[in-house]
Amino acid sequence: MDKFIIEGGRPLYGEVEIQAAKNAVLPLLAASILTDERVIIHRCPRIRDVLNMIQILNELGCRTSFERETLVIDSADAANHEIPSALAKELRSSIFMLGSVIARFGKARIAYPGGCDIGLRPVDLHLKGLKSLHVRIEEEGGYINCACDRLNGADILLDCPSVGATENIILASVKGEGTTVVRNAAKEPEICDLQNFLNKMGAKISGGGTSTIRIEGVKRLHGVEYTPMPDRIEAGTFLIAAAMCGGELEIKGVFADNIAALLHKLREISCKITVKNDKIYIKGGGVRKSLRMIETMPYPGFPTDLQAPITALACICEGATVIVENLFETRFKHVPELIRMGADITVRGRAAFVRGVPVLHGADLVAGDLRGGAALTLAAVSAEGKSTVTDLSHIDRGYSGFEYKLAGVGAKIRRIRV
C-alpha cells in the first residue's frame, strides 16, 4: 500500500498541465467497440479507471496498445459479450459498456457495477432507457443479462439528468433503427465530447450539452483519431489548491467555461482569477471570505466532484459555509478526517455546516474515495505540520501524477510504498 508524506504550509507557484478528462475518456473507450476499425485516443491519462476499462476491452477480445499517452484500440476480433464481474465491480463506469456491447453483439452480461462508495449508485435509469430501445433485460444473482434482436429508436424521458444513463442510451442507439430522443438529458461537457467523438466516427447526434439529444441511427461507424477534452475536475482541484495554500498557479489546457460555477465561488472569496484562452491564472492566499453556500447540482451547477475539495477550502475560510450534496447520499467521508486536522464541521444528512478556522494542523489521514482523497491531500498540503495520506488507490483512479504535479509547484509531498 502506498502513502503520501506531506510537510504542509508552503505556498504554490508555477504551472500545472491538465490531463484529458477521466469522465470523457471512459465513455470514449466504451464507444470504441462500435466500430471494427482502429480507434486512437491521444493524451489518454494513465489512471486506474482507464487501465481497468482497457482490461475490460481486452476481455471482450479487443487488441489494445498504450504507448506513453496514446491508446490504440482494435476491436475487429472482439467476440465476448460478458463483462468480467471483478472488473465491473472495480469500476462504476463499466455500466456504460452495456449500451455499446449490446449495440455490437446484440447481447450483454454484466455484474452490478462498483465504483466510489459515495452513494447507492442505482442503474434503474440506464435499464429503463435500454428497455425503451427494445432491449430485454433480466437481473439475476447480481448480474444484468441483456438481449436484443434489433435496437429501435425511442423517445426517452429521464427521471433525472443522469450522466451515465444519457451516455448509455447514446451508445446503444447510435447504430439503432430510426431516431432516438433523450429528454432531460445530462448537459455535462463530457456528453458533448462523446457526441463529437461519435460524430467523427460517422454518427448523427445533435443536442449534446442541452437537455434534449437526438440520435439518428446509422448503419456503420468508422475508425477515429481523437484527443479528449481536458479534465475540468482536475483543473478545479488545483485551483482550490492555490486558494488554500496561497501563491500563484497557471492552470494550462482547460476550458474555463466548464468550471464557471467554481470560478465564480473562488472570486467571491477574493481569489484573483484571470482567464486567457485555455489558461487560468489564479492568485490565492490572503483573506478568504466566507463561501457562504455551496449546493452541488447537475451541470452547469456546482459539480459534485468538487464538493470534497471545496469543503476542505471552506474549513479555512472566514465565517460559516453550508455545503449541500444533492447528488450522492454518502459523499462526506472526508469530513471526519478533516475534523481530525482541527476543522469545525457538523454534518446533518446531505448538509455540512462548516465554521472556518485560521489554519488546519497535520494528521495521519485515510482516503475514503477518489475526490475525498484529493481533498485530504489539499488540506494536508495547506496545513501546518506533517501529514500522511493512505489508501491512495482511490486517488490513483482519477488523478495522473497527482503528487508530482503538486511537488512541481512547491508542495513538499512524496509517495512511499509501505
- Cβ nearer to ligand EPZ, comparing 56 with 363: 56
The span from the CA of 79 to the CA of 62, in Å, is: 8
The span from the CA of 402 to the CA of 395, in Å, is: 8
The span from the CA of 289 to the CA of 126, in Å, is: 41
Q: Which of residues 314-353 bind ligand EPZ (CB under 6 A)?
A: 327-328
**Interaction mask 9-38, ligand EPZ, x per CB under 6 A:** -------------xx--x------------
* Binding residue for ligand EPZ, selected from 116, 261, 266, 381, defined by CB under 6 A: 116
- Cβ nearer to ligand EPZ, comparing 164 with 253: 164
Residue closest to ligand EPZ, measured at CB: 164
Cell numbers of 144, please?
444484468
How many other CB atoms are found less than 10 A from the CB of residue 124?
10
Q: Single out the segment in contact with ligand EPZ by CB under 6 A; choices: 114-122, 139-147, 174-182, 340-348.
A: 114-122
- Cβ nearer to ligand EPZ, comparing 180 with 356: 180
Q: Which of residues 78-97 bind ligand EPZ (CB under 6 A)?
A: 92-93
**Interaction mask 160-179, ligand EPZ, x per CB under 6 A:** x-xxxx--------------
Residue 355: closest CA among 340, 344, 339, 346: 344
Q: Single out the segment in contact with ligand EPZ by CB under 6 A; choices: 29-37, 157-165, 257-265, 274-282.
A: 157-165
Q: Single out the segment in contact with ligand EPZ by CB under 6 A; choices: 123-131, 277-285, 343-351, 408-416.
A: 123-131
Q: Which of residues 184-223 bind ligand EPZ (CB under 6 A)?
A: 186, 188
How many other CB atoms are found less than 10 A from the CB of residue 209?
16
Cell numbers of 380, please?
494536508
Quote the least distance from Cβ 188 to ligand EPZ, whole Å.
6
Active site residues: 116
Cell numbers of 312, please?
476542505
* Binding residue for ligand EPZ, selected from 109, 187, 371, 405, defined by CB under 6 A: 371
- Cβ nearer to ligand EPZ, comparing 35 with 237: 237
Q: Single out the segment in contact with ligand EPZ by CB under 6 A; choices: 59-67, 130-138, 156-164, 381-389.
A: 156-164
Q: Which of residues 277-316 bind ligand EPZ (CB under 6 A)?
A: 304-305
Buried b (16+ CB within 10 A) or exposed e, 366-397: bbbbbbbbbbbbbbbbbbeebbbbbbbebbbb
Quote the least distance from Cβ 176 to ligand EPZ, whole Å.
20
Give Cβ neighbours of residue 51 (< 8 Å, ≥ 6 apart).
none
How many contiguous H segments (helices) and E segments (strands) does the chain have?
A: 14, 24
Q: Single out the segment in contact with ligand EPZ by CB under 6 A; choices: 99-107, 158-166, 311-319, 349-357.
A: 158-166
Cell numbers of 255, please?
476550458
The span from the CA of 9 to the CA of 362, in Å, is: 10
Q: 44-47: long-range contacts (C-beta < 8 A, 24 or more apart)?
A: 44/20, 44/69, 44/70, 44/71, 44/228, 45/19, 45/20, 45/69, 45/231, 45/400, 46/400, 47/19, 47/22, 47/396, 47/397, 47/398, 47/399, 47/400
Contact call for residue 98 and ligand EPZ (CB under 6 A): no
Residues engaged in binding ligand EPZ (CB under 6 A): 22-23, 26, 92-93, 116, 119-126, 160, 162-165, 186, 188, 304-305, 327-328, 370-371, 398
